[in-house]
Structure 1
Amino acid sequence: MGQNRRLDGRALSIKEADKPKEGSYRARGRQARDWQEMGAGNGRRTFREVVTNGAFYCDNADSRKPKMEYGDIKPFQEPKEPEGIRVPIEADEVEWVQRSAIGNLRETVSCIVIESYLAGEGVTARVRPVGGMNVLVIFDDREEMETLLKHYFEIFEKWFQELKPYSLENDERRYKVWVKVEELPPHLWNMKIFKALGESWGRFITVDQATEKKSRLDQAIIKVEVTSKRRVPACPQVIVNGKKCIMRATIIETETMDIDQKILPVIGRNLEKLEELRPSKS
């Protein structure tokens, strides 16, 4: 084929090229080009473009999937172990906690009063404060505790908003705290700001009277319920109409069971209340 053709007076000889052998250098190069150009056409990118520029989802793809651009993909990293002081604790060392219940009190009351009331109901338990209005009720037996909480909870609801078995994994304590907010500009003295701050820390409850009536504008006092006092940052930030404002926040008071200062002086009144709450045997 084409043996009679000439170019510049020279005869041309045309032969069919030999196909590269499987696994040869030329064959590997051709396969690489095929992979690189795969997907080209119809407005789609080639394999090479995807690798060098990052993947993305086309307009008609699932819009719920995030768009990925070059530089967003981070290399895999081994998870880091938590930092801190390592102390091994055996299961038998926390046996007493596993037969305990954590509760949040309705009002300030002495642990002694609660223990006396429970004893009158035939329940033997020790009550210990664990911060804020939270107490730990320690029973003699885990099965007895579970039975009482499940079938006879009315015994406890006089004193407790809630009472549940203590969890080794989750801290169920809550704290009602008063937070002083300073360095807040006067034009941001707004209940929206106070509620937004409270909800960002936990559950907003109220503000004090001076804050509500704008009696003073150098500090706002907000009451919130939080799962940890660490939830209240020292320098909270709010963004209003695109402008950031940084202020100062300090916990100034916590509703707590301070036995020495609050409870003992009123034990007499609590004991009278105890007798009123206990049902008559007549």
Structure 2
Amino acid sequence: MSHTLPYAVNCSLLFTELPVHERPAAAKAAGFDAVEFWWPFARAVPGDAEVDRFVAAVTDAGVRLVGLNFFAGDMPGGDRGLVSWPERTNEFRDNVDVVAGIGERLGTPGFNALYGNRLDTVADHEQDALAVENLALAARAVGRFGGTVLVEPVSGPQPYPLRTAADALTVLDRVRSETGTTNVGLLADLYHLAVNGDDVDAVLAEHTPRVAHVQIADAPGRNQPGTGELPLDRHLTDLQAGGYSGWVALEYKPTGATVDSFEWPAPRRRHA
């Protein structure tokens, strides 16, 4: 039996041919009820008018924002989060307030906190201790309205230390044990796990109860399902069989126009 999990559109990788504020409506027009975004602003703390415009774009489109990233620095330049970066901790914590404000207004359940690259100037154990502190702080902020902070293994830049599900779960265990924070969970991006060499079948068999959000792209290429070799439908079926009932975010780079990349999902899965 194939899964019946609903899909959400990542509007930071899809519909990039449109301005940011037009993407939620484009997702709705394509038949989807939910979207997610990386941090959609240039700064960690945008102006109130910028925030209001973004919130209105989601609300007016009639979609739900089911995932939002905390500010992660200069992503095109190689930054992958501020959570473990001592010199930018105040920037991260200021951003947490903005993220929580948006999330509360839009009823967002999941918030991706990219861990941050390893730094030559700071000992690993110092970065890890700071990360625990910052993840707990972020979780308290979004926990006020039922949100969960997500920790994600990522492929690509080697200085990013969380490569496998086990790496991320170690961090989550430490946050729980040292701070008592429970609203933290694994972001299972099946593309990142697969290209990093993780055994995705084993991860899902053992850790599905700890998965709080799912993202997909095919591999190689990080394009839409069907363009690579990953058994994504089987993985999603296994997730659902293991008790996962959340969203599956389409976080891929379309090979052509975004709307043309939606030919593979069943229309009924676009709705909650």
TM bucket (normalised to shorter chain) is: under 0.3
Structure with the larger RCO, 1 or 2 (CA within 8 Å, 6+ apart): 2
Structure with the higher strand share, 1 or 2? 1
| TM-score (structure 1 length as normaliser) | 0.23
Query: Normalising by the residue count of structure 2, what TM-score does the alignment of the two structures yield?
Result: 0.24
Q: Which has the larger share of helix?
A: 2
Instruction: Point out the structure with max Rg over C-alpha.
Output: 1
